[in-house]
Amino acid sequence: MSDKIDFQSLSFGMRRIGWIRFWTQSILGVVVAAVLLFSNVVNNSEGQLGLTPGLSLTTISLILLLFSLWQGWLIVRAGRAIASNARPSRGQTCKLIKRGLVVDLLGILFGLIGYQALMGALFIQASSQTTGQLITATSDIPITGLEILSVLSNTQVIAAHFFGLCFSLWLLRRIYK
């Protein structure tokens, strides 16, 4: 009887954390996709040439986030299956969660490298600006709000992967409890 209660508790926990993970990553992913789409539509060819590598890495991290969303959905399904008679084994469930961990770690890695590329380009652009002059040279390109928004999209995708990583680690701890 206690085994059935444990499986029900594990099933409820996996479903609840799976849904929280899924919706948290979905909301942050929509923000990232909207900002990346907006920055591609309103592309300022003069000022954003240095941001292209960082935005490309952010896009790769977003694609990994989509795969992580799918993993979150599979975690919810596995939680439902644990409550039924045809429950997956502990190894199968852990393999599913560990795959999500690896995807989130790769997403964080690409996001961090993209962040470094974005901030490096913005630092070079900011350090080339002259301050305190009434008339600026034509080589001075000011940092625009769109460029700062690109950095924000990058931090949002890193945050989404971080939340997925935290929830997956909690689930692994719960399974081996």
Summarised one tens digit per residue, pLDDT across range 66-90 is 999 999 999 999 988 988 888 888 8
**Which of the four pLDDT bands, split at 50, 70 and 90, describes residue 104?**
very high
Calpha distance 136→177 (Å, rounded): 64
Calpha distance 54→147 (Å, rounded): 11
Q: How many CA atoms lie within 13 A of 87 on its CB side?
A: 18
Q: What is the pTM of this model?
A: 0.84
More confident residue, 58 or 6: 58
Q: Which of 16-20, 80-84, 135-139 has the lowest mean pLDDT?
A: 135-139
- Of 11-15, 141-145, 157-161, 169-173, which has the strongest mean pLDDT? 157-161
Q: Which of 39-43, 78-82, 98-102 has the lowest mean pLDDT?
A: 39-43
Q: Taking a C-beta distance cutoff of 8 angstroms, is the pair 168, 21 a contact?
A: yes
Calpha distance 99→143 (Å, rounded): 39
**Which of the four pLDDT bands, split at 50, 70 and 90, describes residue 21?**
very high
Selection from 71, 149, 164, 53 nearest residue 110 by Cα: 53
Selection from 158, 146, 142 nearest residue 41 by Cα: 146
Q: Taking a C-beta distance cutoff of 8 angstroms, is the pair 71, 21 a contact?
A: no
Q: Taking a C-beta distance cutoff of 8 angstroms, is the pair 87, 81 a contact?
A: yes
